[in-house]
């Protein structure tokens, strides 16, 4: 009997690990040889893989093999100046969406349980907010030992995922529990870590990117929004089981898999597209919409006036408020706005929450260049109707998006 496989709108197998960032930790056990096949299976599902090896792991399979299969240098040393200049332990911890340790030896499990950070791999685990999974691999008698069992239970209580072990023949000749799961099984379990179906059956409408307001046929007014946050939210909402409509201004980004994309240019175009997409259950307005547009669009390119050396005056008019329009409809969806501010962040965001009749607002400090427009990372605070702020620490926009979708879905279910 074949394994059932979900397909996307074009009939292709859905890859839940597509563009996911996985740190594969390789411990010092004979099962380390399976790491080569595991890297291949993870990459087959679309994941980007960085390998971190312990010294013991490198005795069983060479770093060169893992580098060739992953396409990236293998990381081994905690205090390697060259590695720190490229992607050090803190950067790897922040980069990862999932840390999968396979094989996880009894020694590694014990050190993780006690919070010991005496090599690169254990240090990354302590420094990450990503999901951590272990695939135990050891002699069957070692696996049964009460101390190993206690350490494993302790990790499970701390939300570590434990994959296996399986039962079977072992390298030492024994038979029993302790054998590491096969690569295909581990890749499937890794994919399951991203299956958060908190929005199953919901229609989610998301706006992203900037809008452009024409001055004449060659000039326009816009802003620095890249659209990356909105696209990451769309991808996270699909992972959560939603049907997603993404309405985006002009951006240079690929459409996330299983997302219905609508391209627009101006604020009025975006409002019309949003209204056409309703009804929806959740509206997330992450687009940076222009507040004003020129009252008149010149039919031809404007020329410099040689008789006026003072400059050019444009008469501007207000654009429609997309967020307030949707959030005040009789059939309003659960409405989430974004506030991109350079000062008085929480005060301005709270005022916008109230004025636009929102359920939640995500406040971003775009004055900080490390999390501002066009950056790969973000940090934010989410304010609710009770004006309580929940902080989401700086990390990749993809991870922030998943955290936000989980948070928003939880709040929706409370309404």
Q: What CATH number is associated with residue 269?
A: 3.40.50.10300
| pLDDT over 90 at 326, yes or no | yes
CA distance 223 to 76: 42
| Higher pLDDT pick, 340 / 13 | 340
| Angle at 319 (CA atoms; ends 318, 324), nearest 5 degrees | 110
In this prediction, residue 1 carries a pLDDT of 26
Task: Give per-residue pLDDT as tens, 41-64.
Answer: 999 988 899 999 999 999 999 999
pLDDT value for 195 = 66
Instruction: Of 277, 273, 229, give the one whose Cα is nearest residue 253.
Output: 229
Domain count, the chain: 2
Contact between residue 120 and residue 27 where contact means Cβ atoms under 8 Å apart = no
Q: Which of 172, 193, 274, 380 is catalytic?
A: 172
pLDDT value at residue 90: 79
Residue that has been written with the tokens 């696996």 in this structure? 143
| Phi, psi of 99, deg, nearest 5 | -110, 120
Instruction: Please check whether residues 157 and 210 belong to one and the same domain.
Output: no
pLDDT score at 309: 63
Task: Residue 156: give its domain's CATH number.
Answer: 3.40.50.1950
Condensed to tens digits (0 to 9), the pLDDT of residues 231-259 reads 999 999 988 889 999 999 999 999 988 89
Q: Are residues 83 and 172 in the same domain?
A: yes
Do 220 and 103 lie in a common domain?
Answer: no
Among 135, 159, 192, identify where a domain stops: 192
Are residues 100 and 185 both part of a single domain? yes
Is the pLDDT assigned to residue 9 strictly greater than 80? no
Mean pLDDT of 323-333: 94
Check residue 89 and give its pLDDT.
Answer: 66
Q: Quick one: 179 and 259 in the same domain?
A: no
Q: What is the per-residue pLDDT for 338?
A: 92
Of residues 127 and 246, the one with the higher pLDDT is 246
Mean pLDDT of the chain: 87
Known active-site residue 5: no
Range of the domain at 163: 21-192
Q: Are residues 263 and 405 in the same domain?
A: yes
Verify that 188 and 214 share a domain, yes or no: no
More confident of the two residues 209 and 7: 209
Distances in Å between the Cα of 51 and the Cα atoms of 71, 109, 127 are 10, 18, 16
Residue 207, pLDDT score: 97
């Amino acid at each position: 009997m074949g394994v059932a496989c979900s397909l996307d709108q074009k009939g292709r197998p859905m890859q839940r690990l597509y563009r996911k960032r996985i740190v594969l930790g390789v411990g010092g056990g004979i099962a380390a040889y399976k790491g080569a096949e595991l890297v291949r299976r993870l990459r087959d599902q679309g994941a980007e893989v960085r390998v971190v090896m312990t010294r013991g792991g490198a005795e069983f399979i060479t770093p060169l093999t893992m580098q060739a299969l992953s396409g990236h240098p293998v990381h081994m040393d905690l205090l390697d100046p060259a590695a720190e200049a490229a992607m050090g332990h803190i950067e790897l911890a922040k980069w990862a969406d999932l840390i999968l340790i396979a094989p996880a030896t009894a020694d590694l499990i014990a050190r993780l349980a006690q919070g010991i950070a005496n090599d690169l791999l254990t240090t990354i685990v302590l420094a990450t907010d990503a999901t951590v999974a272990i695939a135990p691999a050891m002699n069957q008698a070692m696996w049964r030992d009460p101390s190993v069992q206690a350490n494993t239970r302790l990790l499970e209580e701390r939300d570590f995922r434990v994959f296996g072990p399986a039962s079977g023949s072992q390298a030492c000749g024994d038979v029993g529990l302790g054998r590491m799961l096969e690569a295909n099984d581990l890749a499937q379990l890794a994919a399951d870590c991203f299956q958060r179906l908190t929005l199953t059956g919901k229609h989610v409408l998301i706006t992203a990117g900037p809008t452009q307001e024409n001055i004449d046929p060659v000039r326009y007014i816009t802003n620095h929004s890249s659209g990356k946050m909105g696209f990451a939210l769309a991808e996270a909402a699909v992972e959560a089981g939603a049907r997603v409509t993404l309405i985006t201004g002009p951006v240079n980004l690929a459409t996330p898999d299983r997302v219905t994309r609508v391209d627009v240019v101006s604020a009025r175009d975006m409002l019309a597209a949003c209204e056409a997409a309703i009804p929806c259950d959740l509206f997330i307005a992450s687009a940076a919409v222009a507040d004003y547009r020129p009252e008149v669009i010149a039919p031809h390119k404007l020329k410099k006036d040689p008789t006026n050396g003072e400059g050019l005056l444009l008469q501007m008019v207000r654009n429609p408020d997309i967020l307030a329009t949707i959030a005040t409809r009789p059939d309003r969806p659960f409405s989430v706005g974004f506030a991109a501010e350079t000062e008085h962040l929480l005060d301005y965001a709270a005022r916008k929450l109230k004025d636009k009749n929102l359920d939640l607002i995500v406040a971003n400090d775009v004055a900080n260049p490390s999390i501002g427009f066009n950056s790969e990372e973000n940090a934010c605070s989410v304010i609710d109707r009770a004006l309580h702020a929940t902080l989401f620490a700086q990390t990749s926009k993809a991870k922030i998006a998943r955290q936000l979708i989980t948070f928003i879905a939880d709040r929706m279910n409370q309404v």
